[in-house]
Structure 1
């Protein structure tokens, strides 16, 4: 601490007084009180602790903000990926790559099945169109439909008749027939009913057709062209009850008969291309005359 300078020259006495210490006069330095070091250290410690806690608090706030930002970013990405449309990049298919070929085949498997389904209905429709019925009396238009029917497994003395009514009287019979072997009949729309006995199952499609029209055949009714080849035929092994008939239809009426013969055990017949069918009973086996 400084003091003001005196402009006058001090006297020796005054100088001595000034130089001699005055116990009553307090030295400026005595007013200075040394700080309490313990208290000062405590304050420093409190200040340091406060600084540490402030740093920890700042770090906690920073970490919390960062955590919320991270979680928010994840939620945004998930919601964006869920709502964003998915774009698929087409993979080029190489004809030389077996794996691609397999994938192509798998992908086209539905189309193949659809093609098969498109082809199958024609075959299934043919099978569905096949109508069959058994023995007994059937009403035409209700039980059975008009058309040509085949009895491939008819027994001996298969009997059937087309009828115009159900009185049971002879006047109701339009046409009737007894057949040994395979039978064919055409039922007309004007018929009221149809009756059969010992003829087995009747089908709207033949269950079996002769594969070789020129091969020998025995008794029954056959389709000319599909089952019997037109030409000259000779029968062997028959008896005096041999009966044959060339037919223009299968309604079993007399008008269907083009020509017939009874009682010749070894007949020879010229079957024409214009014939629809041929019937044989008790005539044995028929062969082509040029065989």
Structure 2
């Protein structure tokens, strides 16, 4: 190639044409929508079966009206069809608030009064077998963890007794043997 001549043209490579993408068939969307609808239905049934949010005792009354019309074979040719109205009243049984079922408290944890444990007087044999021979307990206003929530507390080295009031928010215990309700 001499000066002033242009180089020969280079071939241009273009990508191969792609066929158009067909739209997703309707059944592909249904594979997702139908199970999702089933899950939402089950969640709704579960919420409905659970009842009220606060778990309080409520009585529900429902009335249903049913209208029954006689068939043409049961009627004479010149009689109008009689209507029978039946009213049915359905009353559901009241639900009870869940009561704590245990009369003991394990040696470690924070327990909500009225939900996890019942109010009353509890006794522990003292510290559990551990490196630190102390049994710490505290009656609390709430479970926020604030220092001001402590109503009263103790760090016992032997058997101990505590009375938990119904107005207490929670009871905290660490390093103690099991607490048994005595009254």
TM-score by length of 2: 0.43
Structure with the larger helix share = 1
Determine which structure has more spread, i.e. the larger CA radius of gyration: 1
Structure with the larger strand share = 2
**Which structure is higher in RCO with an 8 Å CA cutoff and minimum separation 6?**
2
